[in-house]
A = this chain, B = another copy of it.
Amino acid sequence: MAFKCTLVKMDPHTRARAGLFSTPHGEVPMPAFAPVGTQATVKATSPHELRELGASLILANTYHLYLRPGADLIARLGGVHRFMAWDGPILTDSGGFQVFSLAGLRRIDDDGVTFRSHIDGSEHRLTPEKAIAIQEQLGADIVMAFDECAEPHDRAYNEAALARTHAWAERCRAAQTRHDQALFGIVQGGIFSDLRQESARFLTGLDFPGYAIGGLSVGETKAEMHAMLEATTPLLPADRPRYLMGVGSPEDLFEGVARGIDLFDCVLPTRIARNGAVLTRRGRLNLRNAQHADAPHPIEEGCACYACQHFSRAYLRHLIAAKEILGLRLTTIHNLHFMLDLMRQIRASILDGAFVAFKDEFLASYRSVPEKAVTQR
């Protein structure tokens, strides 16, 4: 088998794990943060830069690529790795999340979802089989089951959605024809521990090579999200990667890792960068603020990223004020470096048996943005 999950170290005080996940395009050291390349490009960056930043896994979105430029085209051009010139591991989602987010533009039935394109209004249909077929055309290393993401507090809806998600997981498993792609099942169940546990048990029975936790960071509180992780990860097989979809912020990485999560993805670092917001050890700051107008120092002293090694906050603020592309390139580079380097440090701390100390130290000085857990995808 092309995939191998090796656990290297378990933290003695939490559920944190350090490991390696091998794919046909290389190894993913875990825990890992995956930058999001929605349309087969991590916004504002080049593959060369992502490599230099030390990204090991990146995400691409099936919904977006299916609509434009089309999965057939990408397949004819050799698959998404060749298309975007990224020869490392890639994960594609199933398209479900984006389709279910198209309120008013989609109709769900037990067989699948009919929806209209946000680009041109054309009608399309996704089923479990279609989601797998598209992902096989794209050719990512890790592919996701087609699931239904429900409003997290609606018990009745979550019960109905979970039944569909489980039926669709079986159909996805059966539809898979490529064995160089690891298909992950997705645990759903809103904020209901019993539903989450039922889902984890059901999916584990299907023996997926990895498990995702979906339907979180969609409007519930951080405490609710943490409770769902605590209800779920103990039921997942220890020797398979666990992927928390659409999460998260720097503090979310610590909280997720502590609860047994191995993989994360989020547009947060790249999206806030394009608004001038940058991550530092003390929290976020916005370079648009006047206080940075004549600051000769970098975003963060000691930071090894290209932006901090060469440019002042004053220059970055100028670029942002003048709407220059280099401004958002540099804030993106910094924020991705921050997240990827933080994850490297988290992994090193687990290997050193110092995860809890590192977590406490980081969270003591990092001022979180007070917000509900909301997926930024």
Contacts and interface: CB of A to CB of B under 8 A. Distances in A.
Contacts of A43: 324-326
Contact of A69 (B64, B314, B326): B314
B44 A314 contact: no
Interface stretch (A164-172, A229-237, A315-323): A315-323
A207 interface: no
A83 B41 contact: no
A206 B306 CA distance: 44
A321 B69 contact: yes
Contact of A84 (B48, B73, B78, B315): B315
B306 A68 contact: no
Interface residues of A, number: 39
B85 A311 contact: yes
B325 A325 contact: yes
Given A48-B306, A325-B43, A315 B76 contact: no
Contact of A310 (B69, B85, B311): B85
B76 A318 contact: no
Contacts of A293: 69, 73
A208 to B, nearest CB: 31
Interface in A327-353: 328-330
Contacts of A325: 43-44, 325, 328-329
A185 to B, nearest CB: 30
A242 B250 CA distance: 55
A306 B85 CA distance: 11
A326 B85 CA distance: 12
Nearest to A310: B85
A280 interface: no
A183 interface: no
A318 B68 contact: yes
Given A39-B324, A76-B294, A318 B69 contact: yes
Interface in A172-227: none
Interface string A12-53: 000000000000000000000000000111011111100000
B44 A315 contact: no
Contact of A46 (B41, B83, B315, B326): B326
A296 interface: yes
B322 A39 contact: yes
B312 A77 contact: yes
A324 to B, nearest CB: 5
A290 to B, nearest CB: 12
Contacts of A68: 318, 321-322
Contacts of A73: 293-294, 314
15 contacts: A39-B318, A41-B319, A43-B325, A46-B326, A68-B322, A69-B293, A69-B321, A73-B293, A76-B294, A77-B314, A85-B311, A325-B325, A325-B328, A325-B329, A329-B329
